[in-house]
Structure 1
């Protein structure tokens, strides 16, 4: 077997540190050249983007709000990837998570206090996302259906189910807007500026809410589960070598269910941030592509919680700063912003493995000299 067919193994400080930074630098360079080619100034765009995302308390609040959603979506992809699965169904699982939040919020919100309601809202989002992911997992493990095909199909099914329920069951009578009634206050995740006001502090209003704490706690859980628990070791063993894991006494089919179940639960948590934390009611298309962005976040973060947090923050900056750029720079349309974001996704995420051989060669050269 040729050496080129062997997997490239890099030290962790290169794999999850230096390599993503290099990919990001290449992505920014290419994006800058494209912006220059369409007749805009890259430096002007950057001088608006960064202050718009990080230069004010309000802008930072919006950036961290986007970051929260991307953390959940990225973790969902990462857990499935460690199990050897490509979960491309984050959109549908997040949609079902929001549906679970809405059904529980509408049914029990008027009757329960927030101290009881909010934990139930979180559990509902995770449970609905988990159950939606469990069906493709079962089809893959016991019926041989490909997880990518079934999860894509389930994205469309989730969207259609959400539309059907909103139009026919959850929309208040007489309302022309395709959205549910507003939740009781007890079913809404407290916003950061509201909590600050209760403590006598004044912060500008933003959609940032306590879901950020849940997202960071989810990162800790994923790290512990994958690298510190026996169940996580079994899941990673199946993801790396399913036949060897089977001969070692691990049940690969069960691990598919576990990986997709946890992945779906994490994706469903997007509904907590978007529906309970911001909208306060169920709406159409509230996920808005976050499930697919989670794929790029996970790739760029090397499927590690620390990398996913950093990648999510980057995409949060791009989303919030991109809005400011489209507002502040004449002729710089929203489509140009999306194009720039797409290039960064391409080079910083999907092209991550392209630079790996170069780093492996350089590392081997310098490590050999130091030996």
Structure 2
């Protein structure tokens, strides 16, 4: 046992030396956990910012002017005024406005009389996130303005219900808080596939696989050495990224235990590096490996629950994704880093990742043993 651990350790050191002399992979790791996270967190926003809106005011009343003035930065640009409804199609076809609100004739009079006039909101739905969130913003602004106007016109009458909203874990609803952490999870998934697979492909391309065959080491020892070396690099990079980029530069509040997150990341990396090694046994070069790895990464990234909530997926697809370690790692990361969950809450995800990792390691070992036997023959 001691001799086997020594083999794993020394082979892992060899992998670290090989990685250090690979400037492309080193640059990829540096970029992935620094600039990539910062640019995505600050550049990709799900909340409404500086949305363009125009109003067709057929009423010309005090209430319609109040509504027009209610659309202000930073959520909306100052509302433009279109002469008539005939100008709506041309303006939206040109992409000039994302929203166009039509206020009908006698709108204020109908509101005061207690009738229920209809406002028409035209939405450019080509930008789906902006369309959905922006519609909620516009609706909320209209409801607030109408409620305030009605209460003033009826001698101080107020609405019977007051709703107090408290956003937990992200009080200012900043999308950068969500995007930064999810980008780290996504990058860990991607790099674990690339580094472990590249370690196997590198042996074949450099001809060192024959050297391993004549050494007194087993396929399992070779695989474990590649897993711990790749995992160590990714864990160290992720830890520095959370400390310097997420907490330092972006100012994101991490509620949970960083140590628990690193522990869970190590288990996840064991599973993903095993998958990377298994995929590498089907490829003869890095381009082939890239073509194999990209579909796996894209599917796991898109359907893990970080981009689309698991609850909104079809039942069959949600059950299928339970065999992917990324699904459990995303759930684990959100619970620990966002909500400050402890081991008593996330142990099911850790157990699932461990079980999946063992299965993937056995599959990778079977494939890798066959690859070495073919090379020896």
Larger radius of gyration: 2
TM-score calculated relative to the size of structure 1: 0.30
